[in-house]
Structure 1
Amino acid sequence: MKLIFPDSLLWVSQSTVESLLKYYDYPHPIKSAKIILGYDKEHVTRTAKMCAAVAKSLNYSEKIICEYQITCLLHDLGRAGLDQALFGKIWSWAKNNNVPTRPLEWRQKFPNTTYGKETEAFWDMYSSELYEIGIENTEWAKEQVEMRLGYARRFNREIEKIKPELKKRGIEWLDWMGKVILYYYYPEKMDNAQNWVKKLGEILIACEQLEAYSNRIRGGDYYNRCDESFLEAFNYLDSLVDEGRISKSVLLAVRKLIADGLFDDILKDARDGNISKEEFNYLRKI
C-alpha cells in the first residue's frame, strides 16, 4: 500500500510549530533590550519534516510521529542564544586546530576529563590561545562552548525552563524525547533504551546530518565550508552505519524517500535553491 504523506510534511499544526520555534529566541545576556533570534529555526523545521516522514515510512503510529516531530523541532534548543560571530570564531578556530568539537570525540582524545566537564576542560586547555585571537574567558563565551561540548547540560537547562509552558499547550515532555535528542552527542544515553526509541534517535541523526551537510548558511557560518556535497553527506552517513550509530534499515528508509523525491523541496531550500540537474539525478539514484 502506498504511503500518504501530508503535503507540508507536518504532523502537528503550523501554530504549534511557530510556538515551539519561539523558544529559540533568547534574551541577550548583556544588552537587556535585545533578543537573539533563533539561528536554528529553519534547520530544525526541515529536519523535523524529514524525520517524521521517515518515521511514517517505518510504520510508527500517528501519535508517536506527532510527539517525535515536536521532539525534532526542539532538538537544537540547547543552542538557543547562539552568538553567530562568537560561536563561529570559537569553533572555526577549534576545527582549524584539530580540537574536538563534540563530547564523545573530546572524551576519546582526553579520556581523563571528568564526564560532563568537557566545557571546563576546554577552557582550562585553550583559554590562553583563544585570548590571543580576541576571545576572552567570559560567561557568555563559555556558553558558546557549552552549546557543543556541554550540550546535554545546556539542553536540559533550557528544556526545564519551558516544560510548564509545554504542559499548558498540552505537550507532555517524555523521557524518551531527551534520549532521542542527545543520542548524537551522547550515544551512551541510549543504553538500555527500547529499540523503537533508539531507531527514532537514528532517524534524527540521519536527517539532521543530511540537512546540516546541505545547509548553505550553516556551512559558511560555522562549518568553515565553502560548498555542499550530497556525496559527502552520504559518505558520512555510511560511516555512521559502520560505527553502529545508524542502522542500515534507517538509512535505507531515508534513501528511499530521497530517491522518490519527497525531500527535494527541503534540500533545495537548505541549499538556497542551488541544486543542479546532475545533483537531482544523483538523488534519484541514491
Structure 2
Amino acid sequence: MPTPIRETAPLLMPRSLVGPLMQLYDYPHPRKPGRVIRGYDRHHALRTARMCAAVARRLGHSEERVERYQIACLLHDLGRAGLDQELFGKIWSWARANGIPTRPREWRAVHPSTPYGRETEAFLKHYAQDLVRRGVPLDSWTAEQVEMRLGYARRLARQLRAARPKLARLGVKWAPWMERVMLYYYYPEKLNGSARWVRELGEVLVACEQFEAYSNRQRGRDYYTRKKESLPEAFAYLDKLQVEDILSPRVVQAVRDLAAAGAFDQLLAEARGAALPRREFRYLRSLKRDG
C-alpha cells in the first residue's frame, strides 16, 4: 500500500474547544425521555472543517478569518442536531427513490407556488398519505426530520440561537457571515449581495463537505443508500456543481490541487474506515497539474 503524504489539513482551534463545540450537536430525544441523541457522524463535521481550512488558506484568506471559518464549518450540520437515523432515513430514502425534491430550491422549482420558507409544510401536506402508508407518524418529530432538509435555514437559526450563550462562554466570536456560509448549499440565494470572500467560503464548505461525504462509508450506507465510495464520482459531482454555478472553477481547482498533493489522504481514509485502495491513490496523484 502506498505511504500517504504528510497530513496538511490543519485543525486550527485548540483540541479543548472541539469537544464543547461537538456537544452542541447533542439533542434530547422527544420520544424517549432522558435519552440524548448524539450528533450524527460528528467526525464528518471535523474532517470537513479541516479540509475547509486547508482550501481557504490555499485561496489566500487570512489566518484570522480561516480560524473563525473553521468553527462555522465544524458546526455546519448543527441544523440537523437530533437527526433520528431510522425516521430520517425512512422519509428521505423514500423521497429519493420517488424523485421527490430534497433541497429547498429544488422543491420550489417543482412546486413554484410554495411560499418561500414554507417547504416543510408543503411537503407534509403534499405527501401526508404516502408517509402514513409507510408507517411514518404525522407529528412534530416527523416535521423536525423534514425540516432538517427542506427547512434547514429555519432550523439552523433555532439551533444557533440556543447555542449562542455557550459559544460566548467558549470565547467564540460569532458573526452573521458564519451562518450565511453554512447555508450556502441549500440557499445560495441568501449570499446574494454578500462580499465575494463570503460566497467563496460558502463554496469551499460545499465542495469539502460533499467531497468528504462521497468518501464517507457511514454516510453512504445510512444517508445516501450508496453501495460503495468513489473519488472520481466525488469530483464528477463537484464538476456538476460548477456547471450549476454553485462552485467556481477556482474553488474546485483548489480542492483538486490539495487532493493531488496528498493533503486529504489521511482524512479520506478515516472517512472510509480503512486505507484507501491503491487505485484511489493513483487517481488522486493523477490530479496533479503539470508545472
TM-score, L = length of structure 2: 0.95
Unpaired stretches in structure 2, ≥5 consecutive residues: 1-5
Q: 1:242 Cα shift? A: 1.1
- The answer to whether the aligner puts 1:97 opposite 2:109 as a matched pair is no
Q: 1:58 Cα shift? A: 1.2
Letter in 2 for 1:177: M
**1:6 and 1:15 mapped to 2: Cα distance?**
21
Q: What's 2:232 paired with?
A: 231
Aligned residues: 282
**1:147 and 1:240 mapped to 2: Cα distance?**
21
Q: What's 2:62 paired with?
A: 61
**1:222 and 1:255 mapped to 2: Cα distance?**
25
Q: What's 2:10 paired with?
A: 9
Moved more, 68-77 or 165-174: 165-174
Unpaired stretches in structure 1, ≥5 consecutive residues: none
Q: Tell whether the 8 Å contact from 2:27 to 2:37 is kept in structure 1 after alignment.
A: yes
Q: Tell whether the 8 Å contact from 1:91 to 1:101 is kept in structure 2 after alignment.
A: yes
Deviation digits for residues 42-71 of structure 1, max 9, x if unmatched? 110000000001111111111101100000
Q: What's 1:23 paired with?
A: 24
Q: 1:185 Cα shift? A: 0.1
**1:172 and 1:274 mapped to 2: Cα distance?**
37
Q: Tell whether the 8 Å contact from 1:86 to 1:144 is kept in structure 2 after alignment.
A: yes
Q: Tell whether the 8 Å contact from 1:40 to 1:76 is kept in structure 2 after alignment.
A: no
Q: What's 2:113 paired with?
A: 112
Q: Tell whether the 8 Å contact from 2:9 to 2:54 is kept in structure 1 after alignment.
A: no
**1:179 and 1:245 mapped to 2: Cα distance?**
14
**2:133 and 2:176 mapped to 1: Cα distance?**
42
Equivalence map 1:127-146=2 (5 Å): 127-146=128-147
Q: What's 1:216 paired with?
A: 217
User: Per the alignment, in what secondary structure is the counterpart of residue 180 of structure 2?
Assistant: helix
Q: What's 2:158 paired with?
A: 157
Letter in 1 for 2:87: L
Letter in 2 for 1:219: G
Q: Tell whether the 8 Å contact from 2:261 to 2:285 is kept in structure 1 after alignment.
A: yes
Q: What is the aligned-residue RMSD (CA, Å)?
A: 1.2
Q: Which has the higher contact order (CA 8 A, sep 6+)?
A: 2
Aligned sequence identity (%): 54
The 3 A distance-change label for structure 1 pair 6 and 167 is farther
TM-score, L = length of structure 1: 0.96
The 3 A distance-change label for structure 1 pair 97 and 8 is closer
Deviation digits for residues 88-136 of structure 1, max 9, x if unmatched? 1110000011110111110111111010000000010101011111101
Q: Tell whether the 8 Å contact from 2:183 to 2:190 is kept in structure 1 after alignment.
A: yes
Letter in 1 for 2:50: K
Q: What's 2:3 paired with?
A: none
Moved more, 243-252 or 151-160: 243-252
Tell me which stretches of 4 or more aligned residues in structure 1 moved more than 3 Å: 5-8
Deviation digits for residues 182-236 of structure 1, max 9, x if unmatched? 0100000010010111100010000000011111101111211111111111111
Deviation digits for residues 130-173 of structure 1, max 9, x if unmatched? 11111010110110000000000000000000101111111121
Q: Tell whether the 8 Å contact from 1:82 to 1:144 is kept in structure 2 after alignment.
A: yes
**2:131 and 2:44 mapped to 1: Cα distance?**
28
